[in-house]
Amino acid sequence: MKTAFVAAISACLVCAPAGAYDWPVSVPTVVATFGQGVGGRFGYGVSIVGGGTEVRPIAGGEVVFAYDPARRSASVPRGPGAQVVIEHVERVRSVYSHLAPSTVTRLAVVSGSTAIGSIGDSGTALGPTLGLQVLDLETRSFLNPLMVLPLLRDAQPPVVVRTLIRRAEAMLELGKVGSATPGNAEILVEAYDLREDVPYRWRLVPYSFTVSVNGRQTLSVVFESRRYDEARLLVGAGRTAASVLRDAWLFSLGEIQLQLGETHLQLLVRDYAGNESSREYFLSIKG
Partner 1 sequence: MGTVDTPSRARPLPLAIVLVIAYVIVFPNRAGHEIVVRAAWSTSIGLPSRLTGSSAVVHGFRLGDAFGYVDPSGILLRLEAVFHDVAFDDGHYANYSKGSEAIVVRSWDGGITASLRGSRWPLLLDRTPDALMMFAPDLLGFGEFAMDGTARWDRELGSLITCYAAFPEAVAGGLPRCVVGTLDGTVRIIGRDGADLLRVDSAGSRIAGSYGCAVSDDGRLVALFLGLDPQRLVMLNRADGTYRELWSRDMAQEVRSERIAVFSGDSRYLLIETGDGIDVREARGRRTWSVACGGALYAVATVGAEVVAETRQEDGSGELTVLVLPDLVVGRADVGVIAEGGRYLAGYDGYVLHGSAGHIGRLDVLRL
How many angstroms separate the CA atoms of 225 and 144, rounded?
Answer: 5
CB-based burial, 267-282: b 16+ in 10 Å, e otherwise: bbbbbbbbbbbebebe
Nearest partner of 283 among 182, 168, 180, judged by Cα: 180
Give the interface size with partner 1 as a residue count (CB under 8 A): 41
- 61 vs 254, which CB is nearer to partner 1? 61
Does residue 85 belong to the site contacting partner 1 (CB under 8 A)? yes
Please report which helix (H) or strand (E) contains residue 242, including its range: helix 241-244
SS3 state of residue 105: coil
Mark residues 119-148: x for contact with partner 1 by CB under 8 A, - for none: ----xxxx----------x--x--------
- CA 55, distance to chain mean position in Å, is 21
Least distance in angstroms from the C-beta of 185 to partner 1: 30
Only segment of 61-69, 145-153, 183-191, 246-254 that touches partner 1 (CB under 8 A): 61-69
Q: Which amino acid is at 216?
A: R
Does residue 238 belong to the site contacting partner 1 (CB under 8 A)? no
Residue 13 CA neighbour count, 13 Å, CB half:
16
**Subset of residues 29 to 58 that bind partner 1, contact rule: CB under 8 A:** 37-41, 44
- 124 vs 266, which CB is nearer to partner 1? 124
Does residue 228 belong to the site contacting partner 1 (CB under 8 A)? yes
Q: Which spans of this chain sit near partner 1 (rule: CB under 8 A)?
A: 37-41, 44, 62-80, 85, 87, 93, 95, 101-102, 108, 123-126, 137, 140, 228-229, 231
